[in-house]
Amino acid sequence: MSAASHLPGGGASAASDDAPRKRGLGGYLLLSPGGLWLVVFFVVPTVTLVATSLYDPSGSLQLGYAMTWHWQNYTDAVVDYGPQLLRSLQYAVIATIACVLMGYPLAYAIAFKGGRFKNLMLVAVIAPFFTSFLVRTLSWQYILGDNEAVVSLLRWLHVLGPEGHLLATPFAVITGLTYNFLPFLVLPLYASLEKVDRRLLEAASDLYASPFTAFRKVTLPLSMPGLVAGTLLTFIPAAGDYINSELLGNPTTRMVGNEIQDLFAAGDYPTASSLSVILMAAIVLLVAIYVRRAGTEELV
């Protein structure tokens, strides 16, 4: 096995980083249509959301809302929906950890053990996601159902009591979240692992590092950008999700997304907006701490 065959074409990729870029108005022309779309339908709405969160909650869609800088919406939202908010973050953290425990070995196996089946395995990671998110989540209702194999087996092993079930429990919700967001962890992680220079691992083993030490000191640090990106892509959507909670959970597993959706559906825009802003703020805060700790800044 020659190590050189695994190496990426170093010259070309290095050259594009400091490639000469064109100056002038061309860049703006190319950027502006899509950029405007993002400003008008992403940036402006975000500002509107913050504004809406401070409206007088006694207004309604028909009568209109008055901007009264009603900060009490926030305290009300925290008091009324604090448990759901905490539960969302908690479920999202657990699901993210479960994704790492399953996704790291998978990404590692594809990058280092895939051989000529590498592309096939990558397709296999993406393939389940060609079936609709909701249809797949619904199929977990069947897999975890009371009369099906998984529950029967666990009851037989006495992991579950004779009346125990999995569906409509926090376990089911977290299983669904883990399942749904796993590829978002695997793909960036694989991209990072794939780039690890195999010669570094040879060097480590030449210097008497055991395979485990080589992994800990070489592979793991080099895969950190992918791991950080992957965990964020898992944690963020999981924290805002309400599909898994609704389809696989019960009223005590409701997450903040369920409440936001229901508040909007009920027409309580100010409270719904403030809850949305709180969710976003909590995520930004947690992500900032995490990224600082993980020590990677090259995410964009």
Partner 1 sequence: MSTATPSATATAPRSAGSRFTRWLGDNVVLLVGLLVLLYMFTPVFVVILMSFNDPAARNSYSFDGFTLDNWTNICGPLGMCEALRVSIEIGVLATLVATLLGTLMAFAMVRHRFRGRAAANIVIFLPMATPEVVMGSSLLALFVNGGVSGLLGFWTILIAHIMFCLSFVVVTVKARLAGLDPRLEQAAMDLYANEWQTFWRISFPLVFPGILAAALLSFSLSFDDFIITNLNAGQEVTFPMFVWGAAQRGIPAQINVVGTIMFLIALAAVVAGDVLARRRAGR
Is residue 213 involved in binding partner 1 (CB under 8 A)?
A: no
Residues 157, 175: Cα–Cα separation, whole Å: 20
Residue numbers 269-298 binding partner 1 by CB under 8 A: 269, 272-273, 276-277, 279-280, 283, 287
Q: Please state, in angstroms and as integers, the Cα–Cα distance from residue 119 to each residue in 105, 180, 197, 262, following that order.
A: 17, 21, 19, 42
Instruction: Write the binding mask 83 to 112 for partner 1: x where contact by CB under 8 A, - elsewhere.
Output: -------------------xx-xx-xxx-x
Residue numbers 40-79 binding partner 1 by CB under 8 A: 41-46, 48-49, 51-52, 61
Residues 225, 155: Cα–Cα separation, whole Å: 41
Strand partners, 60: 64
Stretch near partner 1 under the rule CB under 8 A, chosen from 152-160, 198-206, 220-228, 233-241:
233-241
Task: Compare residues 166 and 182 and give the one whose CB is closer to partner 1.
Answer: 182
Residue numbers 173-212 binding partner 1 by CB under 8 A: 179, 182-183
Choosing from 81, 219, 232, 271, the residue that interacts with partner 1 (CB under 8 A) is 232
Residues 238, 232: Cα–Cα separation, whole Å: 10
Q: How many residues at the interface with partner 1, by CB under 8 A?
A: 99
Number of neighbouring beta carbons within 10 Å of residue 163: 7
Task: Compare residues 59 and 170 and give the one whose CB is closer to partner 1.
Answer: 59
Q: What is the DSSP letter of 145?
A: -
Is residue 166 involved in binding partner 1 (CB under 8 A)?
A: no
Q: Please state, in angstroms and as integers, the Cα–Cα distance from residue 209 to each residue in 37, 194, 196, 218, following that order.
A: 52, 21, 17, 10
Tell me if 235 sits within 8 A of 93, measured CB to CB.
Answer: yes
Minimal distance, residue 290 CB to partner 1, in Å: 12
Element (H, E) at 272: helix 269-294
Choosing from 70, 140, 219, 227, the residue that interacts with partner 1 (CB under 8 A) is 140
Residues 190, 194: Cα–Cα separation, whole Å: 6
Stretch near partner 1 under the rule CB under 8 A, chosen from 78-86, 158-166, 197-205, 255-263:
255-263
Choosing from 82, 83, 128, 221, the residue that interacts with partner 1 (CB under 8 A) is 128
